[in-house]
């Protein structure tokens, strides 16, 4: 009788202990395995600025900022500041802690490569610098312009140099960097006057201002010239900002031919310490795009 009772008690004890072990294992596993993709914007090596013109389309811009924050990102960028509810954008940034890395201060038309637009260009740069100062934005993109009838490329480039030399003191006064963006001719911007890195580097070196550098868009550079890491090394003294998209498709890293892990490694080696602008179309939704970006930055 005693033996049977001891056997039953041993069985109960064993079952109780086993249940406790299983429960503890379950809880430990639960605690140590949070949702891996909860904040894919928290990347290992590089900070990224999400382009809210291309991500979360169809929402008010302030709501897009909140969506970017939910993914774990700390930076956004956008195109022209005009036509946007800047107060709502500022509030969204204050509420979330998200900062604006850059916006477009001067677009394709009218081109700064035409001397006839110089006065309007300088006036707009001053206005955009005031907006950047109010929103705590450190940089703004400026675009050289489309081809001008009757002007050679050499003439247009000289006009860009002259315009930027006049704009540089304005940028220096406000502490806002003007970042000149070269485009690509083969896919997106036929008829534009500035492609690839060599001419952009030459222009910025001739302007010779710490507040006039290049918006080095890796998507455009891949299409225009390739050799992404080599070109970055050659012109890094004139890099103000980096943007990305994969090619073909202009989607996020991991969807095209560019080895972005290698490029991010090179940027880290060169000492690039600003966010990289994600001016790309999410191919299968924003969360999947964020996961692909994080994977490319995991080295």
pLDDT on residue 33: 46
Condensed to tens digits (0 to 9), the pLDDT of residues 90-106 reads: 999 999 999 999 999 99
CA gap 267, 200 in Å, rounded: 19
Burial class of residue 137, CB neighbours in 10 A (0-12, 13-18, 19+): buried
Residue listed under structure tokens 């070269």: 182
Residue 176 near residue 138, CB atoms below 8 Å: yes
CA gap 130, 179 in Å, rounded: 16
Q: Whole-prediction pTM value?
A: 0.88
Query: For residue 229, what are the CA distances in angstroms to 40, 117, 219, 250, 267?
Result: 26, 36, 13, 19, 8
pLDDT on residue 17: 52
Both tokens of 153, joined, read 């490329």
- The candidate with the shortest Cα–Cα distance to 51, out of 80, 78, 82, is 78
pLDDT on residue 22: 47
β-strand 177-180 against 212-217: which pairing, if any?
parallel
- The candidate with the shortest Cα–Cα distance to 199, out of 186, 181, 217, is 181
Domain ranges of the chain: 1-33, 38-296
Q: What single-letter DSSP state applies at residue 275?
A: P
Residue listed under structure tokens 């690039």: 272
Q: State yes or no: cis peptide before 110, omega within 30 of 0.
A: yes
Residue 170 near residue 126, CB atoms below 8 Å: yes
pLDDT on residue 13: 53
Residue 29 near residue 257, CB atoms below 8 Å: no
- Using only C-alpha atoms, the chain has a radius of gyration, in whole angstroms, of 26
Residues of the chain with pLDDT under 50: 1, 3-11, 14-15, 18-19, 21-22, 25-26, 28, 30, 32-35
pLDDT on residue 260: 99
pLDDT on residue 237: 99
Quick one: fold of 38-296? TIM Barrel (3.20.20)
């Amino acid at each position: 009788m005693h033996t049977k009772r001891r056997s039953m008690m041993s069985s109960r004890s064993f079952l109780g202990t086993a249940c406790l072990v299983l429960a503890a294992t379950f809880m430990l596993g639960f605690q140590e395995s949070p949702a891996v993709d909860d904040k894919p914007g928290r990347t290992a090596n590089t900070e990224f600025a999400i382009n809210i013109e291309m991500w979360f389309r169809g929402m008010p811009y302030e709501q897009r900022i909140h969506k970017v924050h939910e993914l774990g990102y700390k930076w956004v960028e956008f195109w022209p500041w005009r036509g946007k509810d800047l107060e709502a954008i500022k509030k969204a940034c204050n509420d979330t802690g998200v900062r604006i890395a850059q916006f477009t201060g001067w677009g394709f038309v009218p081109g700064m490569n035409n001397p006839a637009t110089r006065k309007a260009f300088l006036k707009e740069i001053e206005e955009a610098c005031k907006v950047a100062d109010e929103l705590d934005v450190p940089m703004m993109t400026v675009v050289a312009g489309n081809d001008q009838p009757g002007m050679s490329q050499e003439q247009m480039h000289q006009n860009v140099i002259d315009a930027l030399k006049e704009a540089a003191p304005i940028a220096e006064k406000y502490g806002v960097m003007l970042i000149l963006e070269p485009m690509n001719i083969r896919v997106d911007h036929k008829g534009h006057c500035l492609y690839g890195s060599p001419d952009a580097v030459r222009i910025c070196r001739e302007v010779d201002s710490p507040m006039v550098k290049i918006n080095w868009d890796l998507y455009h550079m891949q299409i225009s010239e390739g050799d992404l890491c080599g070109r970055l090394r050659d012109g890094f003294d004139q890099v103000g900002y980096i943007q990305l998209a994969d090619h073909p498709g202009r989607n996020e890293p991991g969807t095209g031919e560019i080895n972005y892990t290698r490029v991010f490694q090179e940027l880290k080696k060169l000492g690039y310490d600003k966010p990289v602008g994600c001016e790309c179309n999410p191919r299968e939704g924003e969360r999947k795009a964020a996961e692909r970006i994080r994977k490319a930055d995991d080295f």
